[in-house]
Structure 1
Amino acid sequence: MAFSFTPSFHKETDLDGLDQKRYLVIALETARHLQWKIIYTGKNGFIAMAGGGFLTPIQEFRLIIKEGAASITSKNADGKLNDWAELNQENVDTFIETFNQFKTSVTDDQVEEILAELAPIFESAEDDLLNAPLPSTKQNLLKFLGFFIPQKGYIITPLIIYINAAIFILMMICGVSFFEPSIKDLLSWGADYGPLTLNHEWWRLISSTFLHNGIFHLAMNMYALIYIGILLEPVLGNLKFAVAYILSGLVASLASVSFHGYAVGVGASGAIFGMYGVFLSLLTTNVIDKSVRKQLLVSIALFVGFNLLYGTKSGIDNAAHIGGLLSGFAIGYLYYPSITQPDKKGTELIVIMLIAVVTLGGSIVAYRMIPNVVGIYETKMKDFAIKESMALEVMSMPKDTSKELLLSELKDRGLYYWQENISLLNAVDSLPLPDVYKERDATLKRYCELRIKSYNLYYKQIEGKQAVSQSTIDSLNKEITDIIDGLNQSSK
């Protein structure tokens, strides 16, 4: 049996005592009853397209009658490398079951009428397309490898795959984990992270689209890219495809840093969603052939919808997906004039330049307008650390320091800076930060309040006008130490 990279299901069945022509007639009527679209009828069988409804992708159904038996095969026809819900097997089983119901109800008159319509096919001297030999294992392998080989009308997609794969391999050579790279490693290689991206490291908006969080992340994204690249790149052409990919990736990264400025973002999925957006928009025009437009529109919309729904899971950046999808959808409509007038190269270049200028200009404005919330917070925390250090200096003063100087330092330096840090923490409460930051700030505020209490007790103890229990000071210091240990542990 020849090995195929396209998911399929095959079954052999006898003709159950029927002659070849009668079997073919009943089989055709069965396919029509199932509302499959028959795209080819030959002397020995037919080819039909199944699915393409709201919840079903497209499969090719092929029936060949030879040597007293029927060979029935259903396989994916939309480029997908998986058969979700085992639809191909369901197609074959449903056909056989329906055929068995039909074979007793079709009359001789109906058979003769349909055979009269098929007479030109049986009388034709042309070879039946269904008699063509099945592709060999080698041919199937070469077809699969063709997904990764640049060729006319399909150059940019393989190049993007090469770039992503090369960067991933280089990361592995440099010691980054094959399955789950650390956040530190991803950041060092150019991941999108608000505090860094918005702090003049704008290039992360692009570099992050060529990084992946492990081999499975890379494989899934490249599979999705191959599927849309096969369909879309021949329609757009190399230049328009490349420009749309880069611009969609840029907008996706901006959307990510706008809505998840404190998350580390990597992956080509935003740019890939952009290409699906381009294709969806073109499927609403007459650019794509009408005979396959509906099926592709439903299949692509279902694929996008499923992935957006899956993207609601924790750890998946749907903001990037939606940003890429919407930008690609807009780019697709803007490309329409140049696609419908392929001979006017000047129009194509003008359209591409206008889209690039508008997208880049809008991105620059958006980049400057996005508040670097986490960056502001971290700057405030650096200020907090400086004030904390200055407040703690009094605790390391020499033992022979005069009483007057100690009291002055405790009051004018120590207590002053602890109060300043409480005011700083109150100010950052207004920032739209995630709960983990707010919880940390509440702990820091408690830490400052305990420091103020302990400094006041030290002040009274040194001043000597009021008795102070050493056990009370020790209890405060124990609580302070516990808070410091907890903060250090959570930051690891």
Structure 2
Amino acid sequence: MDRNKQLEYCKKCTKRKFDLKQGLICNLTNQKADFENECEHFEIDKIKISAEIEKQKAVRKSKISFGFSPKQIGNLPVTDLNKKQLYVLAFETAKKLNWNIGFLSESGFIAYTKMSLFSWGEEIQIKIEVGNINIKSECTGSQIVDWGKNRKNIDLFLASFQKSRENIANLNIEEQYSELSKKFLDAEEDIIKPPLNKKEKVFDIISLITPTKGFVVTPIIVVLNILVFTIMAINGVNLLMPSNESLLLWGANFRPLTIQGEWWRLFTSIFLHIGILHLFMNMYALLYIGMLLEPYLGTGRFLFAYLITGISGSIASIYWNDLIISAGASGAIFGMYGVFLALLTTRFIEESARKSLLISIGIFVLYNLANGLKGGIDNAAHIGGLLSGLIIGYAYYPGLKKPDKLLKLLTIGILVLVFSIGSFAIVKNIKSDVADYFNDMQSFEQMEQKALGLYRLPPTSTDQQFILEVDNGIKYWEECLKIIEKADTYDLPDDLHLRNAQIKEYCHLRIRSYQTMRKAFIEHTNKYDNEIFDLNKEIEKIINALRKTK
């Protein structure tokens, strides 16, 4: 028994005393504790325990917990039972409550409740101490309010434990403890590491975005996303609803642009967000899955999976969507949920934890996929990220089960090769009439500028120069018509075909206007002024309509 475990007894023993040189020592021997299992002279300090009981009674307990990881903590001071008795009684109590028990160690055990209407289940940590049982109930799902479930779990345990005590005479404590001890984790693991260990260390916002051992990549990605959003806002991008032009300028994913050579959008789009609410929701989901998953995967595997699933989501988006401007980390986040779902269907995670987390993670994924069906959400990116995450999760499993550096590098190398070939094959087969349409529209705009050269002539221009510019303008407008007629043969959304019809009418009106102005100059007359005015009025009306639908 190490010094810390010995001190657990000494601190609550009536025979303790403090020595300036040695620290806490035994009053009988004037030496530090040297017992291995239990001290034969141990006598629990009932006065101290009673004081702790009174102190707890005075503390007002809130029924509902809030926070990134809602939890409640309770204690049950006991003066007349040893640690073995407390352990067996606590274990029997958890069984009577139908909790799924796992992660047994000398210090205690972890149990999981079943899903309910207001909760996706809770993780119950039971820690056995000298003269005390510490109970912590924490939500396993991503909710920020526990609706009183954690306090209810603790109260149920305390009430049921008292009933179990009444039956202690019928229990063979030594035999039952011996059987339980065979299932204990190694001393260096002890309880209570997986799977909510990192969430336990969250105290405030700063701790959420501070890299620590086993939690490095997630906070860095969160900070990077917030930083990009802040820079966009400083440069004038709307905080609540950025315009399409702003999103495209900053690197959003858009099939017509992406497949025309701007492949970097597949990467940059996963760090952009469409408003502050979009950013908040995604970062919340990322922090939750990151705290659960990164300690298992490690820095390298987690970062690789995040980037690959994010890019896979971007590829799925441009494959499925013609004209959707896509941005956000949700493809990568769904990918990380996919990785975790894959691992939860293996034996990598302890069974009792696996069942509880599989339900909560599964419901989260299904709910968000269903929510994406209502429109305005890029579900293609979600599904692409999720599927790629499942593949990566299963590929990671052998290397996680039996850690080997060479196997880890080999797995990542094979995944890079597979996803590179797959991505190339998918992208190569993406054909976009819309992309061709936008290219043609760029040519149209260039030709239109040439046709409008008439209005850039200086006031000192001669009639001959004016007529020449009108003739050239008519030719340019006819070229514009040919471009639009060609573009109208593409497989386009109905709204673009309607827009083309307006542009055609615009070109015809321009040609008529130029022809009428030519006659007016040749004949040196003002009799066409009203006709020219009416034509320009119709042209202005179409221009305004096109601006509204841009």
TM-score, normalised relative to structure 2: 0.65
Q: Secondary structure at the match of 1:286?
A: coil
Once residues 484 and 292 of structure 1 are traced to their aligned partners in structure 2, the CA distance between those partners, rounded to angstroms, is 62
Q: Is residue 2:111 matched to residue 1:57?
A: no
Task: Give the equivalent residue in structure 2 for 1:482.
Answer: 541
Which residue identity is paired with 1:437? L
Once residues 358 and 216 of structure 1 are traced to their aligned partners in structure 2, the CA distance between those partners, rounded to angstroms, is 35
Q: Secondary structure at the match of 1:424?
A: helix
Once residues 395 and 157 of structure 1 are traced to their aligned partners in structure 2, the CA distance between those partners, rounded to angstroms, is 57
Q: Which moved more, 1:48-57 or 1:269-278?
A: 48-57
RMSD, aligned CA = 4.9
Once residues 279 and 391 of structure 1 are traced to their aligned partners in structure 2, the CA distance between those partners, rounded to angstroms, is 59
Task: Give the equivalent residue in structure 1 for 2:54.
Answer: none
Residues 383, 143 of structure 1: alpha-carbon distance in 2 compared, 3 angstrom cutoff: closer
Once residues 212 and 265 of structure 2 are traced to their aligned partners in structure 1, the CA distance between those partners, rounded to angstroms, is 31
Q: Whose helix fraction is larger, Structure 1's or Structure 2's?
A: 1
Kindly report which structure 2 residues correspond to 1:3-402, keeping only aligned pairs within 5 A, or say none: 5=67, 6-8=69-71, 35-37=98-100, 49-52=112-115, 57-60=120-123, 75-78=138-141, 80-83=142-145, 86=147, 88=149, 116-117=170-171, 142=203, 146-343=207-404, 345-389=405-449, 400-401=463-464
Residues 216, 118 of structure 1: alpha-carbon distance in 2 compared, 3 angstrom cutoff: farther
Once residues 90 and 426 of structure 1 are traced to their aligned partners in structure 2, the CA distance between those partners, rounded to angstroms, is 70
Once residues 94 and 112 of structure 1 are traced to their aligned partners in structure 2, the CA distance between those partners, rounded to angstroms, is 18
Task: Give the equivalent residue in structure 2 for 1:67.
Answer: none
Residues 180, 360 of structure 1: alpha-carbon distance in 2 compared, 3 angstrom cutoff: same
**Residues 338 and 393 of structure 2 are in contact (CA less than 8 Å); yes or no, is this contact kept in structure 1?**
yes
Q: Secondary structure at the match of 1:157?
A: helix
Identity of aligned residues (%): 39
Q: Secondary structure at the match of 2:331?
A: helix
With a CA cutoff of 8 Å and minimum separation of 6, indicate the structure with the bigger relative contact order: 1
**Residues 119 and 149 of structure 2 are in contact (CA less than 8 Å); yes or no, is this contact kept in structure 1?**
no
Once residues 70 and 175 of structure 2 are traced to their aligned partners in structure 1, the CA distance between those partners, rounded to angstroms, is 31
Residues 347, 402 of structure 1: alpha-carbon distance in 2 compared, 3 angstrom cutoff: closer
Once residues 177 and 253 of structure 2 are traced to their aligned partners in structure 1, the CA distance between those partners, rounded to angstroms, is 66
Q: Which moved more, 1:388-397 or 1:226-235?
A: 388-397
**Residues 209 and 249 of structure 1 are in contact (CA less than 8 Å); yes or no, is this contact kept in structure 2?**
yes
Once residues 455 and 277 of structure 2 are traced to their aligned partners in structure 1, the CA distance between those partners, rounded to angstroms, is 53
Once residues 177 and 121 of structure 2 are traced to their aligned partners in structure 1, the CA distance between those partners, rounded to angstroms, is 32
Which residue identity is paired with 2:70? P
Q: Which moved more, 1:187-196 or 1:269-278?
A: 187-196
**Residues 242 and 274 of structure 2 are in contact (CA less than 8 Å); yes or no, is this contact kept in structure 1?**
yes
Q: CA deviation at 1:274?
A: 0.7
Residues 95, 441 of structure 1: alpha-carbon distance in 2 compared, 3 angstrom cutoff: farther
Q: CA deviation at 1:227?
A: 1.5
Q: Secondary structure at the match of 1:200?
A: coil
Residues 280, 61 of structure 1: alpha-carbon distance in 2 compared, 3 angstrom cutoff: closer
**Residues 30 and 95 of structure 1 are in contact (CA less than 8 Å); yes or no, is this contact kept in structure 2?**
no
Residues 422, 255 of structure 1: alpha-carbon distance in 2 compared, 3 angstrom cutoff: same
Once residues 470 and 147 of structure 1 are traced to their aligned partners in structure 2, the CA distance between those partners, rounded to angstroms, is 71
Q: CA deviation at 1:245?
A: 0.8
Residues 441, 206 of structure 1: alpha-carbon distance in 2 compared, 3 angstrom cutoff: same
Q: Secondary structure at the match of 2:122?
A: strand
Which residue identity is paired with 1:274? G
**Residues 473 and 514 of structure 2 are in contact (CA less than 8 Å); yes or no, is this contact kept in structure 1?**
no
Q: Any idea what the Cα deviations from partners look like across 1:22-41, whole Å, max 9, x if unmatched?
A: xxx99999976874436699
Residues 77, 335 of structure 1: alpha-carbon distance in 2 compared, 3 angstrom cutoff: closer
Q: Any idea what the Cα deviations from partners look like across 1:187-215, whole Å, max 9, x if unmatched?
A: 33332233433332222211221222333
Once residues 211 and 462 of structure 2 are traced to their aligned partners in structure 1, the CA distance between those partners, rounded to angstroms, is 77
Once residues 430 and 402 of structure 1 are traced to their aligned partners in structure 2, the CA distance between those partners, rounded to angstroms, is 37
Aligned residues: 445
**Residues 391 and 417 of structure 1 are in contact (CA less than 8 Å); yes or no, is this contact kept in structure 2?**
yes
Which residue identity is paired with 1:50? T
**Residues 55 and 302 of structure 1 are in contact (CA less than 8 Å); yes or no, is this contact kept in structure 2?**
no
**Residues 9 and 88 of structure 1 are in contact (CA less than 8 Å); yes or no, is this contact kept in structure 2?**
no
Q: Any idea what the Cα deviations from partners look like across 1:392-423, whole Å, max 9, x if unmatched?
A: 667999674499x78x976x972x55454344
Which residue identity is paired with 1:307? N
Residues 55, 257 of structure 1: alpha-carbon distance in 2 compared, 3 angstrom cutoff: farther
Q: Is residue 2:516 matched to residue 1:431?
A: no
Q: CA deviation at 1:292?
A: 1.8
Q: Which moved more, 1:326-335 or 1:425-434?
A: 425-434
**Residues 31 and 95 of structure 1 are in contact (CA less than 8 Å); yes or no, is this contact kept in structure 2?**
no
Which residue identity is paired with 2:373? T
**Residues 168 and 211 of structure 1 are in contact (CA less than 8 Å); yes or no, is this contact kept in structure 2?**
yes
Residues 123, 382 of structure 1: alpha-carbon distance in 2 compared, 3 angstrom cutoff: closer
Q: Any idea what the Cα deviations from partners look like across 1:446-465, whole Å, max 9, x if unmatched?
A: 2234445556767888999x
**Residues 58 and 299 of structure 1 are in contact (CA less than 8 Å); yes or no, is this contact kept in structure 2?**
yes
Residues 146, 485 of structure 1: alpha-carbon distance in 2 compared, 3 angstrom cutoff: closer
Q: Which moved more, 1:427-436 or 1:2-11?
A: 2-11
Once residues 169 and 373 of structure 1 are traced to their aligned partners in structure 2, the CA distance between those partners, rounded to angstroms, is 36
Q: CA deviation at 1:342?
A: 0.7
Which residue identity is paired with 2:139? N
Which residue identity is paired with 2:114? G
Q: CA deviation at 1:249?
A: 0.9
Once residues 206 and 476 of structure 2 are traced to their aligned partners in structure 1, the CA distance between those partners, rounded to angstroms, is 66
Residues 26, 483 of structure 1: alpha-carbon distance in 2 compared, 3 angstrom cutoff: same
**Residues 252 and 265 of structure 2 are in contact (CA less than 8 Å); yes or no, is this contact kept in structure 1?**
yes
Q: CA deviation at 1:322?
A: 1.0
